[in-house]
Amino acid sequence: MSKVGFFRSIHFKLTLIYVLLIIVAMQIIGVYFVKQLEQSLINSYDNSLNQRIYSLSYYLEQDSSKSKAELKEDAQKILNDFNNKDESNEISEVSYIDESREVIASVNNGNQEIAGKKITDQIISRIFAVGKDYEKKFYDPESNKRVRISATAVKNENQETVGVIYVVSSMESVFNQMRTINTILATGTLIALGTTALLGIFIFRTITHPISDMRKQAIELAKGNFSRKVRKYGHDEIGQLATTFNHLTRELEEAQLMTEGERKKLSSVIAYMTDGVIATNQNGAIILLNSPALELLNVSRETALEMPITSLLGLEDTHTFEDLVENQDSMLLEIEREDQLSVLRVNFSVIQKEHGKIDGLIAVIYDVTEQEKIDAERREFVANVSHELRTPLTTMRSYLEALAEGAIGDKELAPRFLSVTQNETERMIRLVNDLLQLSKFDSKDYQFNREWTNFIRFISLVIDRFEMTKEQHVEFIRNLPQREVYVEIDQDKITQVLDNIISNALKYSPEGGHITFTVDLDEEKGLVLFSVKDEGIGIPKKDMDKIFERFYRVDKARTRKLGGTGLGLAIAKEMVQAHGGDIWADSIEGKGTTVTFTLPYNEEQEDDWDEA
């Protein structure tokens, strides 16, 4: 957080407000004081001048009964005396005008030729008419002065106007005093403002310093530092605020520790969940996802964060974020990962605040590839078993119905119908036995009677049995080592494996073909490899990965005709893997198939047999 500049600080604002209030107060006081002082000075000036004019009027009134010549002489003396007493030289003109509108006497600092002239001024005429005094103040732009003009009536004993005293005076002395007073007032205001501003800065610092300290504390709290405390400067409201702030710091520290602990627990739970977890904000953008989610969706964390959840899950064409919030249905997704198609189940849950507002969405992702595969295999298994049982049962019912309807008396048809029924029954028995065998492997409800066996001799006996009982004209070729190789096996189970593999080789071998039996040793891995190669029709490449699945047949019609159940190789795979080995097939379509399985063997055990 950046430091607040002085001119943007509360300290400056409080001082500025304080100074502005002082300025406003002093301005109001100054305006009122100047206005009143100006009015007082003007009134004092008017009163003083009027008293002098009234005294002059009194003397002139006493001489009004004299002759005109005497009046002129006495009036001039009186006016000269009036003018001489004006020490401030405020009077610029004083004249006395009689009833005939003639200037009887005059003292004019600018012009002495007024006496003896007639005055036609309307003001003078009006005073003689009504007997009321006249007064006017104005600014004279020619002299650049403020001027006062007054015309005062001189009345006799009968209150008749016998003359007018006309006075022109300057008021500059009054306004010079006002300017001097204004200068003094302005200087005093500036000194007062400077003093109060400094005092305000000092006073308000006592208020803003604790606030600044709390600001620094808030910055430290935002950084997670709860060790710093706010200093308490007093017991006033700011002191109480500092105490409350320190208490808040302690409460926040405890809440932070508790929240952090819960967050770490939640993070650990989410991180170590085997299921993928995705969290979004209220707009549907991803804000959290754990490692299993990244692995399941085959994306990087940098790519996924801030991406809309609909885009990450590939639902932008069919669903909106609002659809996921409203429906919250579980859905299946198919994701291509490591060149394999994975099936993911996604469950959605809405994050809501206390007032019900949607704050986000939680998506939990499960990898149900194996489960879906098992379910598909189960459905296929049930369908295959139903089909395999229905076919012989339908055949048997048809033949038995024919026998019941009279065919049993036919010496040619009856034995043939009974033979078919017997074959179908044996086929059902083989199917049920194979299913029971697989069921035991699936439930682990089986036991091996293992014993050390000379594998070469054991293989030879099995091959001999098939060679003596085979009906096809097929030649057996043996590539067997001349040494003894001992393996620990359950002879019955491995015999069943060999029977299934060799039977398949015989079924699909053409007349005059060859079946090659080969035993190799991988001494480095401690494995014995046995392979059976035929020259039959082979297996298409697209079916190679499926031939060890239950009920899978490459050529279903031919396999069923030859009596196969589709479970032989599946049983062989289960038995070989239970012995710690592996089984696979290689084939070229039209040229034949090679089925190979491995078993672990022990050379030390062979040495013990040799010494014996």
Strand arrangement of the beta sheet that strand 91-98 belongs to: 103-108, 91-98, 161-170, 145-155, 134-140
CATH number attached to the domain at 273-367: 3.30.450.20
Q: Residue 383 corresponds to which tokens in the numbers above?
A: 């369908």
Is pLDDT above 50 for 156?
A: yes
- Mean pLDDT value across residues 521-528: 88
**CA atoms in the 13 A half-sphere facing the CB of 359:** 6
Comparing 177-186, 296-305, 522-531, 548-557, the range with the smallest average pLDDT is 548-557
pLDDT (tens digit per residue) in 268-282: 777 777 788 888 888
Residue 392, classed as helix, strand or coil, is helix
Q: Residue 396 corresponds to which tokens in the numbers above?
A: 């048997």
Q: What is the pLDDT of residue 354?
A: 67
Domains of the chain by residue range:
12-178, 273-367, 373-443, 451-611
CATH superfamily entry for domain 12-178: PAS domain (3.30.450.20)
Q: Which residue type does 401 have?
A: E
Are 137 and 101 contacting, i.e. CB atoms less than 8 angstroms apart?
A: no
Q: Which residues have C-beta within 8 Å of that of residue 452, sequence separation ≥ 6?
A: 486, 487, 488, 605, 609
pLDDT band at 599 (very low <50, low <70, confident <90, very high): very high
Residue 265, classed as helix, strand or coil, is helix
- Mean pLDDT value across residues 231-256: 78
Is pLDDT above 80 for 533?
A: yes
The larger pLDDT score, comparing residue 575 to residue 263, is at 575
Cα 540 to Cα 308, 534, 561: the distances in Å are 44, 15, 20
Is pLDDT above 50 for 612?
A: no
Is pLDDT above 50 for 481?
A: yes
Are 46 and 152 contacting, i.e. CB atoms less than 8 angstroms apart?
A: no
Distance, in Å, from the CA atom of 80 to the CA atom of 163, rounded to the nearest integer, reads: 17
Distance, in Å, from the CA atom of 217 to the CA atom of 250, rounded to the nearest integer, reads: 12
Q: What is the pLDDT of residue 458?
A: 92
Residue 524, classed as helix, strand or coil, is coil
pLDDT band at 531 (very low <50, low <70, confident <90, very high): very high
Residue 530, classed as helix, strand or coil, is strand
CATH 3.40.50.300 for the 451-611 domain, yes or no: no
Q: What is the pLDDT of residue 528?
A: 92
- Fold of the CATH domain 373-443: Helix Hairpins (1.10.287)
Q: What is the pLDDT of residue 117?
A: 65
The phi and psi torsions of 90 (rounded to 5 degrees) equal -80, -30
- Mean pLDDT value across residues 54-65: 76
3-state secondary structure 46-99: HHHHHHHHHHHHHHHHHCCCCCHHHHHHHHHHHHHHHHHCCCCCCEEEEEEEEC
pTM of the full structure: 0.41
pLDDT (tens digit per residue) in 31-41: 888 888 888 88
| DSSP character at residue 583 | E
- Mean pLDDT value across residues 469-492: 87
Distance of CA 332 to the CA centre of its chain: 28
Nearest alpha-carbon partner for 519 in 461, 488, 480: 480
Q: What is the pLDDT of residue 439?
A: 66
Q: Residue 225 corresponds to which tokens in the numbers above?
A: 């530092």
**CA atoms in the 13 A half-sphere facing the CB of 124:** 19
Q: What is the pLDDT of residue 304?
A: 81
pLDDT band at 17 (very low <50, low <70, confident <90, very high): confident
Percent of the chain with pLDDT over 90: 6
Q: Which residues have C-beta within 8 Å of that of residue 200, sequence separation ≥ 6?
A: 14, 15, 18, 19
| DSSP character at residue 118 | B
Distance of CA 408 to the CA centre of its chain: 85
Comparing 155-159, 209-213, 394-398, the range with the smallest average pLDDT is 209-213
- Mean pLDDT value across residues 36-63: 82
Buried b (16+ CB within 10 A) or exposed e, 492-520: ebbbbbbebbbebbbbbbeeebebbbbbe
Angle ∠(138,81,122) on CA atoms, nearest 5:
40
Comparing 13-17, 434-438, 548-552, 563-567, the range with the smallest average pLDDT is 563-567
pLDDT (tens digit per residue) in 258-270: 877 877 777 777 7
pLDDT (tens digit per residue) in 120-153: 677 777 887 777 888 888 887 777 788 888 888 8
The larger pLDDT score, comparing residue 423 to residue 477, is at 477
Tally of residues, the chain: 612
Tell me whether domains 273-367 and 373-443 share a fold.
no
Is pLDDT above 60 for 443?
A: no
Q: What is the pLDDT of residue 496?
A: 83
Is pLDDT above 90 for 513?
A: no
Q: What is the pLDDT of residue 559?
A: 46
pLDDT (tens digit per residue) in 544-573: 777 877 666 655 444 444 445 567 788 788
Q: Kindly write down the DSSP assignment for every residue of 477-519, as one continuous string.
A: EEE--SS--EEEE-HHHHHHHHHHHHHHHHHHPPTT-EEEEEE
pLDDT (tens digit per residue) in 337-362: 666 778 888 888 888 776 767 888 88
